[in-house]
Amino acid sequence: MNRRDVIQKFLLGGTVLVIVPSVLESCTKSNATEPSPAISTSPSTGSAINLDLSLTENSSLNSAGSSKLVQNILIINTGTKIVALSAICTHQGCTVGYNPGAKDIECPCHGSTYSLSGSVINGPAISPLRSYTVSQTGNLLTITT
């Protein structure tokens, strides 16, 4: 690994450590009277996550190249569509992050790299990230798990 790669990985890891806690704290459900569920390694199957893109905490997803982590789902605005993938690396369970410069998803723990479809570009991971169905009606983004 050359010096540039080490610096990029270090900066990505540092950014994730700074941003992820604040993003997780700002996540809200569409019905504020219900308690927030505990974060698990994967959301329950058959449920939906609704994000109102007009709310300040979600408005960044209106910009191409932006991403947000919600309930261990990485939501990415690619510029042409919004994709949702599991944020849990299939190698050893670390939380992955979106790298808008490289337009890929990277694991800071062991260097696995995934495409925006979730397929493995570089290992050591051998399994793809799980993808979720995303639909948008007006400002309401729905991710079906």
**103 belongs to a structural domain:** yes
Q: How far apart are CA 8 and CA 101, in angstroms?
A: 11
Q: What is the CATH number of the domain that holds 123?
A: 2.102.10.10
- The pLDDT tens digits of the residues spanning 72-117 come to 999 999 989 999 999 999 998 999 999 998 999 999 999 899 999 9
**141 belongs to a structural domain:** no
Number of domains observed in the structure of the chain: 1
- The pLDDT tens digits of the residues spanning 34-45 come to 333 333 445 556
- Residues in Cβ contact with 115 at an 8 Å cutoff, skipping those fewer than 6 apart: 104, 105, 121
**112 belongs to a structural domain:** yes
